Chain A
Amino acid sequence: MKALLDWLDRRTGYRRIIEYSLYENIPGGARWRYVWGSTLVFCLSVQLVTGFVLWMAYSPSSQTAWESVYFIQNEMNGGWLLRGLHHFTASVMNVLLVLHLMQVVIDGAYKAPREFNFWFGLGLLQLVLALSLTGYLLPWDQKGYWATKVATNIMGIIPLIGPALQRLIIGGPDYGHHTLTRFFALHAGILPACVVALLTWHIFLFRRHGITAKDPKRKPDEYFWPDQVLNDAVACLAVLATVLFLVLRPWLFRTGGDLGAELAAPADPAETYSAARPEWYFLFLFEFLKFFPGGTEIWGAIVIPGFILLIIFLMPIIGRWNLGHRFNVGLAFSLLGGVLFLTFLAITKDRRDPAYKVAVEEARRNAERVKVLAQAPNGIPPEGAATLLRNDPLTQGPKLFARNCASCHRYDGHDGTGRVPTTTYVVKTNETLRDVAKLHEMTEPELMSLNQLKTNRVGLNQELKVYEKQSASDLKDFASRAWIAGLLDPQRIDSLQYFGGTKFKEGKMVKFLKKDIAAFSPDRKEQLKKVIAALSAEAGLQSQRSLDQRDAALIGEGTTLVAGEVMRCTECHQFHKPDEDATAPDLTGFGSRDWLIDFISDPAHGRFYGKRNDRMPAFGRDKVLDDHAIGLIADWLRGDWYTPAPE
């Protein structure tokens, strides 16, 4: 064995290398305060190992980046762990860098002859920040996309070279395939190569000048191996434990959500993303930028940070004087304090902002929904996962409804997205809060919380936010048996839920209900139930499929009743046979997808309300919405969207 090792040593000189790396003298012996540099080397190694494997599964293009990351995260063995380690080690690395830098400044380790090593360290810090920034975009999710857009747009405001620099970084005038290929080349190639080169020199210089020993020395000198190595190894293990804790946090605290790094919905330039924030270690810059009004951003984004960086760069020179060193330490602490304060400010502002909370909740919903759709039997189409959400009635329906329908209609009392449309009401003479609440069919506490009132006293001409009354029907469960039963209920047809807010409140149907149906005999009332079942079956709703199958016989009888003369439906409505004299909406296929699409497209068509149409726009005929959008609204109202089969 020894002969073999001797042979190896003569040819490779490995013993000298090991000796050189392990038997470094540490004046005053091993100490915990010397571990920071080693933890950073450890982090970099973790990033290299995890990064190389991520690289094997990552595909940089705008149709495959999110998709490949989704696949790593959700489909590949241990992918979530790998991605989580890479993501959170980056976070931890930024913290460690700051700690390392602070220690160097406090201990005066930047002083001669170590100036260059300090500058190399600063270079490494910037490279790591650049790695964080470029890595944030690579998953091509909404979060990374919008946050990185802000960063590259800021780059564009640099005088003279800004626009060209921006184009070079993002690979063209707009975000796309080449943005990803360039960011990826930077993130996985150029920047890591620079880091390795600079770090090698950094460590070489560190060995050349030796460790900056902290006085007073408490122990005799020791070698690096084994005491300091043990300290370093324990510190690295603690770093790893922290990272693992962050990766496993959703599981440890049972908060739900993905283990490891978050993956938002796929990037979509047409979808707002108000929850866009940079990664937490850039939040201070984000907050800092808010202090600069339009046109002066360059001061906040480039000039002031650049100036601060320059002073830090000059620290070894300033530190030559005793007072200078104190200035450096003071500056380092105040900068750290400033960064922490700005970060704290950014986080608390967001915490207190209800609009931000709504945006975050919506982002979470979309991220979860797209995962469900990607796992559906149809999988992800080659056009990319963004189309899954664009074509999903559950995602698009509420938004389209809120924008186009909720000025009159409601969906379970709100605008589809959970918000109730509001309007302003001016308090009149002698009106109390109770009067105002009653007038707008609200409860007093509702009114108080909506206006953030602390007491129930209101004054004359006070402006109050009130729920806007709906002026057309509530379309939750449209065409279901319950919905039709309500429509055909003489007590409810003229309520706001149905025709109460429309001109049909005074129409023939309401009169017919109040006079004739209200006077139905018990037998007739039984028949009416069959009519309701039959009309509802015309819609073919997914939620009623088993009910409709079970009641096939009853529905058959009901259909005959609707078509017949006893129930008098066909006096005004058309039902399964053309009737030119029909004056009310066609009941053939009532509530089916085709019926709804035709109705939304043109409610004033002869088949529906004709000239009697109240205020509803012809969304299709007048090209307010395209066929795709109308289809999405129809599908959403019918509850027709993909849901995974229960396991």
Chain B
Amino acid sequence: METPELPPQPARRNFIKKACALVVGAVGGLVPVVSGLMVFLDPLRRESQDHDAAQIASLDALPEDGVPRKFSVIASHTDAWNRVPRVPVGAVYLRRIGDKQVQAFNVICPHAGCFVDYDGTRRIYHCPCHNSSFALDGRIADPKSPSPRGLDELEVEIRNQNEIWVKFRNFRAGEKEKIPA
């Protein structure tokens, strides 16, 4: 296609027209883009859920020798539009550290968020993803462990002599400090 010769137009008039076309076009384009961005960015203003303490197990369910056992945490959960009163929201390892004392760890590895296994023969928690390992008390077992911190300990309360209640939380992975997620 050839471009035909056009009569020259006054420069100022052309400039104003160009500016107007750009501004008007931008306004028209901006409205849908901004409304889209608002919805897209909506997750940033949603707060993470703070669970109340939940009853996990009874003291009798834990071996005397301090070997950990894994339990699901059943709590109410909000997932966008759904609100479910009782649903598994995570899991914890519980172990006895005294007659009436219990230690609780979130099963999630603080390195990258995998589910940590308990290895009964080596008596350590071992992460199947990147081989982080943790001692029974949750501290990093191996100096070469990729995890920046030990397992996340959770608040435990013994109620009515025998009930173990845990305040369940998730924490940000990859950080040296325990920061609630």
Contact = CB atoms under 8 A, between A and B. Distances in A.
Given A42-B28, A240-B31, A229 B36 contact: no
Contacts of A380: 81-83
Interface string B21-49: 10011011101111111111110010000
A81 B38 contact: yes
A119 B101 CA distance: 79
Nearest to B34: A78
Query: What size tier do the contact residues of chain B reach?
Result: 35 or more
A229 B82 contact: no
A25 B40 CA distance: 40
Nearest to B26: A233
B7 interface: yes
Interface in A197-234: 207, 220-223, 225-227, 229-230, 233-234
B82 A381 contact: yes
Contacts of A50: 32, 35-36
Contacts of B114: none
A53 interface: yes
Contact of A379 (B27, B33, B83): B83
Contact of A49 (B6, B24, B32): B32
A82 B35 CA distance: 5
Contact of A221 (B6, B35, B40): B6
A275 to B, nearest CB: 25
Contact of A25 (B4, B24, B41, B84): B4
A72 B33 contact: no
Nearest to B24: A233
Among A82, A223, A234, A380, residue most surrounded by chain B Cβ atoms (within 10 Å): A82
20 contacts: A50-B32, A50-B36, A53-B40, A67-B81, A68-B81, A71-B80, A71-B81, A75-B81, A77-B38, A78-B38, A85-B35, A207-B1, A220-B7, A223-B6, A230-B21, A233-B28, A237-B28, A244-B31, A379-B83, A382-B84
A379 B82 contact: yes
A56 interface: yes
Among A374, A379, A381, residue most surrounded by chain B Cβ atoms (within 10 Å): A379
B78 interface: yes
Interface in A543-566: none
Contacts of B38: 77-78, 81-82
A521 interface: no
Given A85-B31, A240-B31, A382 B36 contact: no
Given A25-B3, A77-B41, A78-B35, 20 more contacts: A46-B32, A49-B33, A49-B36, A50-B35, A53-B40, A56-B39, A57-B39, A77-B38, A78-B34, A78-B39, A82-B39, A85-B32, A226-B18, A227-B17, A230-B20, A234-B24, A236-B24, A237-B28, A377-B83, A382-B84
B14 interface: yes
Interface string A70-84: 111001111101100
A374 B25 contact: no
A167 to B, nearest CB: 31
Interface string A303-325: 00000000000000000000000
A378 interface: yes
A49 B103 CA distance: 51
Among A77, A79, A222, A227, residue most surrounded by chain B Cβ atoms (within 10 Å): A77
B91 to A, nearest CB: 21
A553 to B, nearest CB: 38
B82 to A, nearest CB: 5
A77 B45 contact: yes
Main secondary structure of the interface of B (DSSP, over half): helix
Contacts of B6: 220-223
A236 B14 CA distance: 21
Nearest to B9: A222
Interface string B65-89: 0000000000000101111110000
A77 B33 contact: no
Nearest to B23: A233
Interface of B: 1, 3-4, 6-7, 14, 17-18, 20-21, 24-25, 27-29, 31-42, 45, 78, 80-85
Among A23, A81, A378, A385, residue most surrounded by chain B Cβ atoms (within 10 Å): A81
Among A67, A72, A229, residue most surrounded by chain B Cβ atoms (within 10 Å): A229
Main secondary structure of the interface of A (DSSP, over half): helix
Nearest to A42: B28
Contacts of B85: 378
Contacts of B14: 226
A484 to B, nearest CB: 38
A221 to B, nearest CB: 6
Nearest to A70: B81
A52 interface: yes
B40 to A, nearest CB: 5
Contacts of A82: 35-36, 38-39
A386 to B, nearest CB: 13
Nearest to B27: A237
Nearest to A228: B21
Contacts of A381: 82-84
Contacts of A46: 32
A72 B84 CA distance: 20
A233 B82 contact: no
Among A49, A230, A236, A378, residue most surrounded by chain B Cβ atoms (within 10 Å): A230
Contacts of B7: 220
A207 B21 CA distance: 21
A318 to B, nearest CB: 30
Given A46-B32, A57-B39, A378 B83 contact: yes
Nearest to A47: B32
A236 B25 contact: yes
B36 A226 contact: no
A230 B84 CA distance: 54
A233 B21 contact: yes
Contacts of A71: 80-81
Nearest to A222: B6
Contacts of A382: 82, 84
Contact of A226 (B1, B21, B78): B21
Nearest to B29: A45
Nearest to B78: A379
A439 B48 CA distance: 67
